[in-house]
Structure 1
Amino acid sequence: MTAQLPEPSPRPVPPGGIRASHDDREAVVEQLRDAAAEGRLDFDELDSRLELALTAKTLGELATLVADLPASPSFSGSAVESRKPLVLKGGMFGASLGPGRWEVPGHVIAHGGVGGVSLDFTRVECRLAEIIVEAYAETSGVTVVIPDGWATDTSGIDPGVGGLTDKTTSDRLPGTPLIRLTGSGAMGGVVIRHPNKRERRKLDTPWR
């Protein structure tokens, strides 16, 4: 009787060869966008790396895309701590958030769509040092209103055809957030400003 040979054990998979999950890809996409907002990547590099990140099959492929960037807590190469951004979509009829007291996340994504998006921070209480706002104006644009004393960094946005209108001041008060504005002006344009006269009159009215 012929002795049966044992089946060969499966070869161990190297760490970089582990299959990437959707969360892994999303974490790297977020890290790449943050790097572009900080000026570490130009728009061509960002587009190229985003395309590779979204089609990556393994953790090793993802790690290569961020190897020359500061380490991110969202992507460690083997585990992901997902931080879900707040997403607003203008759709056909538009969307708005604020004025009012609402919980501010560290990352907001606004898609203007056909109806446009308005994002108003004037009555919020926020202890974050920075807030990333990704504004994709699309057809009708995105408007961001921030309180006096807050500042913004718009170096990470592509003005597109619609352009970027920045009516904010650089007089940032201690302890207030910095709005890092990224995305694209597309056709509708992106506006970031402090409250206008009409909005200021409403701010002087006690909130109920």
Structure 2
Amino acid sequence: MTAQPPAHSPRPAQPAPLRASDDEREAVVEQLRDAAAEGRIDLAELDARLERALTSRTRAELDAVTADLPSPSPADSLPPLVVKGGMTGATRGPGRWEVPGRVIAHGGVGGVTLDFSRVESRLAEVVVEAYGDTSGVTIVIPDGWTADVSGMDPGTGGLKDETTSARLPRTPLIRLTGSGGMGGVVIRHPNRRERRKLESNPS
């Protein structure tokens, strides 16, 4: 009796490629712009890679666009920072502190100040979720950083954006969301007094 050859096991089905999101495409766009600013790719290659990134449908296609570039800062993996004003108020900064990808500020009764003026961040974007509550939230960002306040609800206290649109390379975009509440939210660059302190003590 002739022995039958062993039956071949069917190959396991390959998982479908994961679709890329708009946020993931935007993060790659920022990574490419940073790479061009650092001289890792020239402008012609930047244009070509931007087109590939914006037309990528899956994560695998998107990953291939930046496979030979440094990974984004590990600060992306930090947990969100929550700052609550409570009854007496709270301040983060103006000293140096590690900036995560998301910061949540509740003004409470005492108010909150987030001062980024002495920090350095290689993140492409930092989301600041601010709630003015009763006494408001003030956000101070260095010259050269820019802000997108289109996702912010001004509430009854209002939103005051005193930042400029001139963004320097390798600086994060502050994407402001949340609500002004009764106290309002202010985002600005350092004022004259703060600038004098920065100049006299830059460290």
Superposition TM-score tier, normalisation by shorter sequence:
0.5 to 0.7
1:29-178 alignment runs, 5 A limit: 84-178=79-173
**Percent of aligned pairs with the same amino acid:** 73
Amino acid corresponding to residue 117 of structure 1 in structure 2 = V
CA RMSD of aligned residues (A): 2.1
Q: Structure 1: which 5+ runs fail to align?
A: 1-30, 35-69, 73-81
CA-to-aligned-CA distance 1:10-30 (integer Å, 9 cap, x gap): xxxxxxxxxxxxxxxxxxxxx
**Paired positions, count:** 132
CA-to-aligned-CA distance 1:86-142 (integer Å, 9 cap, x gap): 000000000001111100000000000000000000000111000000000000000
Preserved CA contact (<8 Å) 2:86 2:111: yes
* Moved beyond 3 Å, runs of 4+: none
Amino acid corresponding to residue 180 of structure 1 in structure 2 = R
Distance in 1 of aligned mates of 2:58 and 2:122: 23
Amino acid corresponding to residue 154 of structure 2 in structure 1 = P
Q: Quote how far apart the aligned CAs of 1:207 are.
A: 4.3
Q: Structure 2: which 5+ runs fail to align?
A: 1-20, 24-56, 60-76
The equivalent residue for 1:184 is 179
3-state SS, counterpart of residue 204 of structure 1: helix
Preserved CA contact (<8 Å) 2:78 2:100: no
Amino acid corresponding to residue 188 of structure 2 in structure 1 = R
> Could you state the TM-score of these two structures normalised by the residue count of structure 2?
0.62
Amino acid corresponding to residue 168 of structure 1 in structure 2 = T
